[in-house]
Amino acid sequence: MIKSKRAGMMRGLIAGAMAAALIVTAGSCNRGKNLHASHKSITEAVYASGFVAARNMYKVYALTDGNIVAKYHVAGDTVAQGEALYRVQSDASIAKLGASSSAYRLAIENAKDNSPVLQDLQIKINNAETLLANDRTTFTRMKNMYDAGAVSKTQYDQAATALTVSENNLQAAKEALRRTKEQLSVDAQNAQAQVAASGQDLSNYVLKSLIKGQVYETYKELGEAVRRNDAVALVGELGSKYLQLAVDQQDIGRVKVGQEVVVKMDISSDKVYKAHVTKVYPNMNGNNQSFRVDADFDQDPGLRFINASVEANIVIATKDNALVLPRQAVNAKDEVIVKGVGGNKTVKIQRGLMNMTDIEILSGITESDEIVLPKE
């Protein structure tokens, strides 16, 4: 259940001139005296407590282990999107990036047509072509001589075999060059990816703001050790603030988007602000059995602070010229005691709106009926 820290101040519902948005203290009537129902305005509202929040507020977390070697901003500073907040020691990552960059440069050089690796394979192809040309000439001469009966079948077959081997060697040399070019190209791509990964890893050591806004709090100082997922700063938008409210589970069903909210804050004394509900969250906080409700100020309050505590009334309904009685005149069974000539009688009433001080009477009595307040 949500408990008011100052119930007397805030649980008194908005009464009288709502245009002035005044939250009044619940008044008390003198018990034991008779009264009549009267016509006046009545407002029913739901109590909520909460705090002022910055839009898009989030915590910045360390992405790696290390020590803080630079702190660029303190609480209260404004920051641009992508601006650095901290730098974590990154000697190992710098060395890793240097090594991967060197490997990438070597891979690029090896992939060029004039690289030593490819030039060596090209020489093998040239040698194979020269040998093939020689073996073709030899084979042609041996064939002519064989046809003329000048050489034996064995000599002819040897020349044919040498030609076939030369052709195969040339094909193999060309295939080796093709495969090596493809592999060197893949190696260069992998090396480039490793450089990018090393650069990304190095960038994790520089903690930046994701938004243009303000640093509301920092949690680490120069020289302190951090571990991955340690919170280092709280960042949010610099502009207008909004309200995060908690509404009791017994009241949340009556809260709707668009309803008026009347707010008081400890930091602004008796000043009253008007807002409206923008979102009702469906998940209950199990710790205090409340639901989160967000509200936007109708006018920018010009607040420079966040997490300032607030208490609010969410206006459920307002009716002018309603017939009302003080709440203490009506018992838990919705009954009142009406004074009569022959004695007092108990009358059942139908109630409408209700707040901390008054209750609307829809039927059962009229203004002319004299109501007896129960004695303490």
DSSP string, 38-82: EEEEEEEEEEEEEEEEETT-EEEE-SS-EEEEEE---TT-EE-TT
70 vs 84: CA distance, rounded Å = 10
What local confidence, expressed as pLDDT, does residue 91 receive? Answer: 66
Residue-wise pLDDT tens digits, 222-252: 999 999 899 999 999 988 799 999 999 999 9
DSSP for 187-249 reads HHHHHHHHHHHHHHHHHTTEEE-SSSEEEEEE---TT-EE-TT-EEEEEE-SS-EEEEEEEET
Residue-wise pLDDT tens digits, 14-66: 433 333 333 333 333 444 478 999 999 999 999 999 999 999 999 999 988 88
What local confidence, expressed as pLDDT, does residue 97 receive? Answer: 59
Phi-psi region of 27 (alpha: psi -120 to 50; beta: other; left: phi over 0): beta
* Angle (CA) 365 370 373, round 5°: 100
Domain residue limits, the chain: 7-54+239-372, 58-82+210-236, 93-203
What is the phi/psi pair of residue 342, to 5°? -90, 5
Ranges in the chain, pLDDT < 70: 1-32, 90-97, 198-204, 376
8 vs 11: CA distance, rounded Å = 6
Name the class of domain 58-82+210-236. mainly beta
What local confidence, expressed as pLDDT, does residue 290 receive? Answer: 96
60 vs 44: CA distance, rounded Å = 42
Name the class of domain 93-203. mainly alpha
What local confidence, expressed as pLDDT, does residue 274 receive? Answer: 96
What local confidence, expressed as pLDDT, does residue 199 receive? Answer: 59
Exposure string over 341-369, b if 16+ CB within 10 A, otherwise e: eeeeeeeebebbbbbbbbbbbeebbeeeb
58-82+210-236 matches 7-54+239-372 in CATH topology: no
Q: What is the CATH number of domain 7-54+239-372?
A: 2.40.30.170
